[in-house]
Structures are given as structure tokens and as C-alpha cells.
Structure 1
Amino acid sequence: MDYNKTLSVIIPVYNTERYLKRCLDSALAALPDNSEILIVNDGSPDQSEKIAMEYFEEFPEIIRYFYKTNGGLSDAKNYGLNHAEGEYIIFLDSDDYIDPDMYNEILNEMKQSGAQLGICDIDCEYETDGSSVISHCYNPNRGSVFFQIIDTPLVAASWNKIIHRSLFNGLDYPTGLNNEDVAVTPIILARANHCVIVKKPMYKYVQRPGSIQNSKFSNKRFVIIETTNIAIERAAELPIHIQRQIKGSLYIHQILGVALYPIRNQQFFKRYSMIKEYMRKVNSCFDDFFQNRYVLDNGLMDNRKHRIFKRLSVILLKRKLYLATSIFFEFINVAEKINAQMVKKGHK
């Protein structure tokens, strides 16, 4: 297939007027030759359209602007894919930004090795306190490059991965569902002939109040069960050992991760109620969940403190001791707060 452009950067936009200029400036600075930026305005009611139009009028050879009625992030991503002309695809969240070397550096590594996919680390920037945490895109304790990438909490992210267009064949983002990347990215990773890892935090992942990931947690986020199920069904096209690795990764980093982190951080009674509801759905949808060896071994490669936390959590959840789980999580939360206060005092 002939491609008109080298790279298509797809930027879905919805209510991010405060961040959009920084995002677009960073994309323009990083854009390789003969590449394009697609701004997909998903019916945003704020001033995002005005900002996007200003950039489109200034850079008409580079930027393509599309307005569509609101259909959600999945719909905006599908729309961008259907209009992209690049041989390679990457997404960029409109409230995030990137280093100027990101796209060229990953593409150069990919072309040198003939890889269909390239990935980099991310820099999580927290608006509330100005802190920053580097998250690696790979797990060095795993063997193959695929397994190193698949066995991480951010495996599903679409914005730190440059992907050859052909890997999207027959795949779309499930319209109307959040956590949409979970249903697509693991399959793309498995399809790639080879993946390259650039061990630099070139993607700036802004953690802001009000974003989808940081908004008030509710049982709407249980949609992760549905998107995980879609990914497992789609993985049926792949070799059985790859299917097992994908399922194991999704079970521990997506399904179990929701219980161990966002649900754990709720107030006690809400936490207890949500654990019961969530785990009943998990057990109903995934009857092999607590027999899966990745779930049973979860935490094996962590430090002692995290290993104990994860292993005890799995034991309690497996036995459906949800009240005991909520109490255990309360002790963990209190301990973490005390530790954070001690660390803070130590820096004064």
C-alpha cells in the first residue's frame, strides 16, 4: 500500500482549551518531514475549536482539522484513523505534550531495525503538587521484548507508541467505552514483527484534576471488564502462548489493578461496596481469574513491601473476604500517608 505521509499524529480534542496550545506546539516541534497532524474536535463546547482553527490556518500544509459531533474518545480515534494518510500512526492526548525529539528518535530506531512498532518511557507530571514520576514502558524482568512491554501497567497506552498502519487492519476502538486502548493496543503489540524500546521519558503525561483518569471514581470505570473481554476475544487469532501472556497482563494490570489502586483509595464504606460489586462482576466474566498463574504470582518481582501487599490482596479477594479486604486496604492507606508525611518532613 502507498502512503502519502510518513507519520500521522492524531489528536482527539474535548474540553482542553487550557492545554491545547502547548500540545500543538510540542507536536509541531517534533513532527518529522512529510508528516501530518490531525486534530479531531469531538464536539468540544469550549474554546478548543477557535484555538485549533488558528493553528490550522497558520499551518495548512501540516495540520488537518476535523469537527464531528460528540461521540466519545473511541469514536474520535476511529475517525482519525479513517482519515490518516501516514504509514505510521501515533495518538497524542490534547492535554499532554511531548519532547521535540520523540517522534524522530523512535522512528529512526524503528527504521534501523525494521520494526513495526516503537515505544518510549513516560514522564507523569502531577499538576496538584508539581511533582514528576518516570514510568518505564518495559519490564526488564521478562524475556522477550514483547513480554517486557506487555507486562507493564501502561501497556494499553496508545500515545507513547508509534505503530505501523497495517497493524490496525480489522481493529477499531469500541465506541462508547472508556479504557478503549485496552481492546486494541495488546493485539497490535502481538501483531508487530518487532518492537523497539527507546528508554527515555519523552511523553509528558499530565495528571490533571477533571481528566478521565483522574475524575471522581465510580462504577462506570468497571467498563475495564468489558474492554478486557474484547481484547481477550480478539487475541484468539494469536498463538496460544501469546494469548496467555496478554490475558495475564490484562488480569493483573487492568482488572486487578482497579481493585488494588483506585477502589482502594475510596472511603471505607464506599470501598467495601465497590469491592463487592466489582469482584462479583469479575468472577462472573472471568471464571479462570483466580486460577490464572499471573494473578497467583502477582507481586513476585516487586520489592518485599509491594509483594506482600499484592499477595495478601489476592488471597483475600480470592476468598471473597471483601470486608477484610477493605479493612486491609485501610491499614495500607494509613501507612502510606504516614510514610509520605515522614518523607516530606525529611526533605525540609
Structure 2
Amino acid sequence: MLLSIIVPVYQVEKYLKTCIKSMLDCHGFSYEIILVVKPSCDKSEYIANDIQKEYSDRVRVVIQDGDGLSNARNVGLRYAKGEYVVFFDSDDYIDAAAFSGLMQSLESRMPVDAVISDYYIVGNSDNISQVDTIEGEELICDNGYLELFLKKRRNYWNAWQYVLRRNFLLENKLLFLEGVYSEDIEFATGIILTARKFAFYGKPYYYYRIGREGSLANKVTLKHVVDLMDMLEISMDRVNSSDVHLKNVIRDKLSLQYILSFVMIFDVDDNERKKAVDIIESKKFLYKNDRNSLLKKMILKLGVLNGARVLMSIRMIRRRFLKIH
């Protein structure tokens, strides 16, 4: 079994070596690392080319033919040869031993459409916390576990927490929407609704950095708000038109993300705040339902601006006193 590790590379010279070296420590299975490079003003492209020269048997550099993270991932998928693929970010890193254990377990349990894993969050001060929702440290090959996973996890849509069968993606035309932010939501919703065989891995291997200085993910614009609302609406429409038995659980996750998005109004420029409030408010009708918890109903009733103030207070308490992101 061959795994294709797809890594978009753009303005990450500080992190790229750590990222790729962590993957090169993998063992016990065959893999290729595809670095999809968009030329930038830093040394990322040079570092990628140097790594390719040193590890030419495992690393390939391809040049991105468009813009954005989604395009880079789709380009990598076109070049991929593996039976399975992963989409890792170039400012993050992995525990090679844990990941190797997963891939060796998966090789004996094939075919699986999608493997979902727990992960670590690395904060600004390199403090590390664990997202712990999957039981044990062995690979769980049980579709019935999906409902428990969805109920325990706040969201299901970080693309890098999935190991995916390449032909499953291609046969179902599951690609990343290009030119938008928050594309992981629509992509992962398609996986959850379409996959026929799931597996779950509770031993984290992925280290996700948050709050990285210079990261595009930290700069919130009005387009971020618009795209998030669009991705949530597209995903909700897909769920509503599907016949999966977990529709209500998935809808709950999307409605929660809609409510959590209220705080984005404090991250956009002041002169765009009213537009952001109006855009979010205009989508409220999609998320009003009888299944909402009392807290959800209260925040929806408060409206975007007042609801955002409540959520900001909750977020400050979680971060300051509970050390929870």
C-alpha cells in the first residue's frame, strides 16, 4: 500500500523543515511526499527543492498552477499515486511513530474509505493540548462508531485529520472548492455523507499549530465571513437532501459552527463590522430548529452582535482559566 502525503507550501520557511522531517521518520509502509509549491518571497521554495534533492526517492516538488490552499490540495491529488492520501499543512508536524502505527494497522484492514483521528493543538507558547474524543489507541473499524464520534467532537472538518482512499475521492468527485475560505467544511461534509466504510484512530499523531504569526488563517476579512456562511449553507443543504441516518447530528454541528461564527465580527475591520453582522444575520433562518439546546436558542434570540459578546466572554474564560482553546 502506498500513501500520498500532500503538503501545500507557501511562505513557511520557519516551519517547513520540521514539517517534512517529521514525515520522513515514518516507517513500516510505503509513502510519497508531494510538496505543492507556490513561489513566494521567502525561502520556502528553495527549502522544498533542497529536501527533494536529498530525499528524491520519497519527495516530489510540483508547482502550483493556481492560487489558494484548495487549489494546492487539488493539484497534489492529481499527481498522487497512492491508494490513500492525506492533506497535511506545511506549518504543522506529525508524530511519525504514531502515524506509522496507524498506517500499518490500516494496511491490514483495507479497504476503508476514511480514517478519522484525534490530534494535538500547539499554542502560541508551544503549549500542547489534546483533542481526545476517540476511545483507546487501536484502529476502530466500525461504522456505528461515527455517531458517537460526531456527538463528542465539536467539529469534524479539519482535512488533515483524515486518511482517505484516493479512488473514493475521485469516484465521488470529492475535491476542494477553490477560491473560497472554510472549504474544509464542505469537503468533510461530503466525506461524512458519502463514505461507506469508516475507521477511527484515538492515538493522536498530528500537531496543529494555532495563532502562528503571519498565518493567513489569522487575518479575518469580510470574505472570510461570506465564504464561511456559504460553506455552511452548502453543507446544510447537502445534509438536508441526503438520506443518512445521522442528519440531525451533522446539522447540530453545522448550526453550532454558525453560532460560533458570531465572534468573527470582532475580527474584521471596524468599517466592515455592520456588513459582517448583516451577512451572518441573514442566514439565521437555516439554523433555527427545535433540536437546538437552550444555550443555542438563547444566543440565536440575542442576535449576532449580542450573541457575539456572550461568546467572547465564554472564550476568554475558557482560555484564561481552563486553558482550553
* TM-score range normalised by the length of the shorter chain: 0.7 to 0.9
Q: CA deviation at 1:311?
A: 5.1
Q: 1:219 aligns to what?
A: 222
Structure 2 residue runs of 5 or longer lacking an equivalent are 137-142
Moved more, 42-51 or 323-332: 323-332
In the alignment, is residue 9 of structure 1 matched against residue 12 of structure 2?
Answer: no
Could you tell me how far apart the structure 2 residues matched to 1:288 and 1:37 are? 40
Could you tell me how far apart the structure 1 residues matched to 2:253 and 2:241 are? 17
Corresponding letter in the other structure for 2:289: Q
In the alignment, is residue 239 of structure 1 matched against residue 236 of structure 2?
Answer: no
Could you tell me how far apart the structure 2 residues matched to 1:15 and 1:147 are? 38
Q: CA deviation at 1:332?
A: 4.5
Q: CA deviation at 1:240?
A: 4.4
Q: 1:304 aligns to what?
A: none
| Alignment coverage as a number of residue pairs | 311
Matching residue within 84, 92, 101 for 2:80: 84
In the alignment, is residue 146 of structure 1 matched against residue 153 of structure 2?
Answer: no
Could you tell me how far apart the structure 2 residues matched to 1:251 and 1:106 are? 32
Going from structure 1 to structure 2, the CA distance change for 1:328 and 1:24 (only over 3 Å counts) comes to closer
Could you tell me how far apart the structure 2 residues matched to 1:327 and 1:175 are? 32
Matching residue within 286, 289, 311 for 1:288: 286
Could you tell me how far apart the structure 2 residues matched to 1:206 and 1:333 are? 18
Corresponding letter in the other structure for 1:161: Y
User: TM-score, normalising length from structure 1?
Assistant: 0.78
Q: CA deviation at 1:43?
A: 3.0
**1:21-74 residue CA offsets vs partner (Å, 9 max, x unmatched):** 000101111255332110000233321110000111111111111012441111
Structure 1 residue runs of 5 or longer lacking an equivalent are 299-307
Q: What is the alpha-carbon root mean square deviation over aligned residues?
A: 3.2
Going from structure 1 to structure 2, the CA distance change for 1:291 and 1:65 (only over 3 Å counts) comes to same
Matching residue within 182, 189, 214 for 1:210: 214
In the alignment, is residue 62 of structure 1 matched against residue 44 of structure 2?
Answer: no
**3-state SS of the aligned residue for 1:79?**
helix
**3-state SS of the aligned residue for 1:86?**
coil
Could you tell me how far apart the structure 2 residues matched to 1:153 and 1:104 are? 26
Q: CA deviation at 1:189?
A: 2.7
Q: CA deviation at 1:133?
A: 1.7
**1:99-145 residue CA offsets vs partner (Å, 9 max, x unmatched):** 01233222233344443322221111112x332221235599xx942
User: TM-score, normalising length from structure 2?
Assistant: 0.83
Could you tell me how far apart the structure 2 residues matched to 1:88 and 1:325 are? 42
Tell me if structure 1 keeps the 8 A contact 2:15–2:92. yes
Q: CA deviation at 1:199?
A: 1.4
**3-state SS of the aligned residue for 1:101?**
helix
Matching residue within 70, 73, 98 for 2:69: 73
Q: CA deviation at 1:78?
A: 0.7
**1:152-185 residue CA offsets vs partner (Å, 9 max, x unmatched):** 3341111121111122131211110111111111
Write the mapping of 1:162-173 to structure 2, written as runs, cut at 5 A: 162-168=163-169, 169=171, 170-173=173-176
Write the mapping of 1:95-244 to structure 2, written as runs, cut at 5 A: 95-114=91-110, 115-127=112-124, 129-138=125-134, 144-151=144-151, 152-168=153-169, 169=171, 170-207=173-210, 208-213=212-217, 215-222=218-225, 223-235=227-239, 238-244=242-248
Going from structure 1 to structure 2, the CA distance change for 1:161 and 1:70 (only over 3 Å counts) comes to same
Percentage of identical aligned residues: 24
Could you tell me how far apart the structure 1 residues matched to 2:272 and 2:67 are? 31
Could you tell me how far apart the structure 1 residues matched to 2:236 and 2:14 are? 37
Could you tell me how far apart the structure 1 residues matched to 2:283 and 2:240 are? 20
Could you tell me how far apart the structure 2 residues matched to 1:163 and 1:175 are? 19
